[in-house]
Structure 1
Amino acid sequence: MKKVLFYTLLLAGLSGFSQKIEVLVVTGGHDFDRAAFAELFDSMEQITWDELAQPQANQLMLSGGMGTYDVLVFYDMFQEISEEEKAAFRQLLQEGKPMLFLHHALVSYQTWGEYENILGGRYYDSARYKEIPENGFSTYLHDTNIPIRLLVPEHPVSSGLTDFTLFDEVYGNTWVSPEVTPILGTDHQESTEIIGWEHTYGLSKIIYLQPGHGKTSYQNPNYRMLLYNAIIYLSK
Structure 2
Amino acid sequence: MIAWIEVAVAADRVLIVADEFLAMEYLADQCRTLENLEARLVPQNRLPADLSSHRAVVVYIHRGLDTNAEQAFIRYTRAGGRLVVLHHSISSAKRKNPDWFPFLGIELPQGDVNQGGYKWIEPATIQIVNLAPDHFITTNKVQWPTRVPYRRENAGSEENLPGMVLEGSEAYLNHTFAGSRTLLLGLRYQDPETGRVWMQDRAGWIRRAGQGWIVYFQPGHSIRDFQQPAYTRLILNAILYRP
Smaller-chain TM-score bracket: 0.7 to 0.9
1:164 alignment partner in structure 2: 163
In structure 1, C-alpha distance between the alignment counterparts of 2:13 and 2:85, rounded to whole Å: 16
Length, aligned pairs only: 209
1:207 alignment partner in structure 2: 215
**Residues 210 and 154 of structure 1: is their aligned pair in 2 closer, same or farther, counting only changes over 3 Å?**
same
In structure 2, C-alpha distance between the alignment counterparts of 1:166 and 1:113, rounded to whole Å: 34
1:150 to 2:130 alignment = yes
In structure 2, C-alpha distance between the alignment counterparts of 1:194 and 1:214, rounded to whole Å: 19
In structure 2, C-alpha distance between the alignment counterparts of 1:86 and 1:216, rounded to whole Å: 27
**Residues 42 and 214 of structure 1: is their aligned pair in 2 closer, same or farther, counting only changes over 3 Å?**
farther
Aligned 8 A contact 1:171 1:192 in 2: no
1:26 alignment partner in structure 2: 17
1:119 alignment partner in structure 2: 104
**Residues 174 and 225 of structure 1: is their aligned pair in 2 closer, same or farther, counting only changes over 3 Å?**
same
In structure 1, C-alpha distance between the alignment counterparts of 2:220 and 2:71, rounded to whole Å: 28
Residue type at the aligned position of 2:120: T
* Higher percent of residues as strand: 2
- TM-score (norm. length: structure 2): 0.72
Residue type at the aligned position of 2:66: I
Aligned 8 A contact 1:27 1:76 in 2: yes
1:151-189, Cα deviation, whole Å (9 max, x unpaired): 111111012434122313221122233412111013323
Once the two structures are TM-superposed, the CA of residue 43 in structure 1 deviates from its matched residue by 3.0
1:56 to 2:42 alignment = no
* Selected match of 2:120 from 116, 139, 147: 139
Once the two structures are TM-superposed, the CA of residue 67 in structure 1 deviates from its matched residue by 1.8
Q: Which runs of 5+ in 1 are unaligned?
A: 1-7, 125-130
1:20-99 aligned within 5 A: 21-28=12-19, 30=20, 32-33=22-23, 36-57=26-47, 60=48, 63=49, 65-82=50-67, 87-99=71-83
Aligned 8 A contact 2:59 2:84 in 1: yes
**Residues 55 and 216 of structure 1: is their aligned pair in 2 closer, same or farther, counting only changes over 3 Å?**
same
Q: Which runs of 5+ in 2 are unaligned?
A: 145-161, 190-196
In structure 2, C-alpha distance between the alignment counterparts of 1:92 and 1:34, rounded to whole Å: 21
Aligned 8 A contact 1:100 1:230 in 2: yes
**Residues 112 and 229 of structure 1: is their aligned pair in 2 closer, same or farther, counting only changes over 3 Å?**
same
- TM-score (norm. length: structure 1): 0.74
In structure 2, C-alpha distance between the alignment counterparts of 1:151 and 1:34, rounded to whole Å: 26
Question: Which shifted more, 40-49 or 201-210?
Answer: 40-49
Once the two structures are TM-superposed, the CA of residue 70 in structure 1 deviates from its matched residue by 1.2
1:28-79, Cα deviation, whole Å (9 max, x unpaired): 1x5754554444334333311101112223xx3xx3x212211111111342
